[in-house]
């Protein structure tokens, strides 16, 4: 017996000979020339265009994640392009594979932590106690707290306060931001060291404020980083360094081996 078939449907987009519709909007007349790349991303993921306040905050957090310098994902993209220059998209994909629990994808961890800790009944005056529980439980379990601390940016990661400032200017600085800041302060107290809210902690908080499903948080990080990786490949075309990265790594390995011969 044939199993019942579920209708296949999608609201993402469709086209005919003379019409192209994306998320219910006519692409040529309603979107082209009217929306930014960030707003288009918001439409694709949320199913609606952002209002002005949401647009300001969402575009700011995307810009934050585009470029982080010579990170492992950037080096992976450059080295892959060195080996397969006919596949720029493959080089970008290689870099995107490095968007995980250590780099960029940590926004997902902080968003998850915050969304689980705050309920519709949570009040602002409860935030310090909620933060204390988060930090105390993490210490007892020996687990890292997502969204705080940075190896370089101390005592403040300058991206976080600026993002929170933009959120406040647009009326989107709410309980999630308050909790992220309280967790940072409480962790600093319990661990007796400075543990600032980092960029992905701020991004995670703002994704919660915007109402995103936290399961797409890492995807938004990958979306932003893809732009940066294309930039790295573009620079590689004019100022190639991937071969030098390869040679230096190889020289280091060979030098260490020969020292023990």
pLDDT recorded at residue 257: 66
pLDDT at 260: 61
Q: Where in the chain is the domain with CATH 1.10.230.10?
A: 106-215
pLDDT at 86: 95
Q: What 3-state class would DSSP assign to 167?
A: helix
Phi/psi of residue 15, nearest 5 degrees: -150, 155
Cβ(186)–Cβ(130) under 8 Å?
no
Residues 6+ apart with CB under 8 A from 96: 73, 222, 225, 226, 229
Architecture of the structural domain at 106-215: Orthogonal Bundle (1.10)
As given in the structure block, the two tokens for residue 32 are 């082209």
Tens-of-pLDDT digits for all 261 residues of the chain? 778 888 888 999 999 999 999 999 999 999 999 999 999 999 999 999 999 999 999 999 999 999 989 999 999 999 999 999 999 999 999 999 988 777 777 789 999 999 999 999 999 999 999 999 999 999 999 999 999 998 788 899 999 999 999 999 999 999 999 999 999 999 999 999 999 999 999 999 999 999 999 999 999 999 999 999 999 999 999 999 999 999 999 988 877 767 665
CB-count burial class (<10 Å; 0-12, 13-18, 19+) for 93: middle
Report which secondary-structure segment, H or E, holds 194: none
pLDDT recorded at residue 259: 67
Per-residue model confidence (pLDDT) at position 261: 58
CA-closest candidate to residue 210, choices 251, 248, 167, 240? 167
Contact 155, 194 (CB under 8 A): yes
Strands 25-26 and 13-16, bridge-based pairing: unpaired
């Amino acid at each position: 017996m044939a199993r019942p078939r579920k209708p296949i449907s999608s609201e993402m987009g469709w086209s005919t000979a003379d019409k192209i519709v994306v998320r219910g909007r006519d692409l040529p007349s309603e979107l082209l020339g009217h929306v930014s790349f960030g707003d288009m991303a918001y439409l694709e993921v949320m199913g609606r265009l952002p209002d002005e306040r949401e647009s300001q905050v969402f575009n700011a957090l995307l810009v934050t994640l585009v470029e982080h310098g010579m990170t492992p994902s950037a080096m992976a993209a450059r080295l892959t392009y060195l080996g397969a220059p006919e596949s720029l998209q493959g080089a970008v994909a290689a870099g995107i594979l490095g968007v995980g629990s250590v780099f960029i994808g940590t926004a997902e961890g902080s968003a998850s932590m915050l969304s689980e800790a705050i309920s519709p009944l949570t009040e602002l005056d409860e935030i310090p106690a909620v933060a204390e529980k988060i930090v105390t439980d993490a210490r007892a379990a020996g687990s890292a707290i997502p969204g705080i601390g940075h190896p370089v940016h101390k005592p403040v990661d300058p991206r976080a306060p600026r993002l929170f400032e933009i959120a406040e200017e647009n009326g989107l600085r709410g309980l999630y931001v308050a909790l992220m800041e309280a967790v940072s302060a409480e962790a600093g107290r319990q661990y007796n060291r400075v543990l600032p809210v980092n960029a992905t902690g701020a991004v995670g908080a703002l994704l919660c404020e915007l109402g995103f499903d936290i399961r797409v948080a890492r995807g938004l990080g990958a979306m932003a980083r893809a732009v940066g990786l294309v930039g790295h490949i573009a620079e590689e075309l004019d100022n190639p360094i991937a071969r030098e990265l390869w040679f230096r790594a190889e020289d280091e390995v060979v030098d260490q081996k020969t020292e023990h011969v």
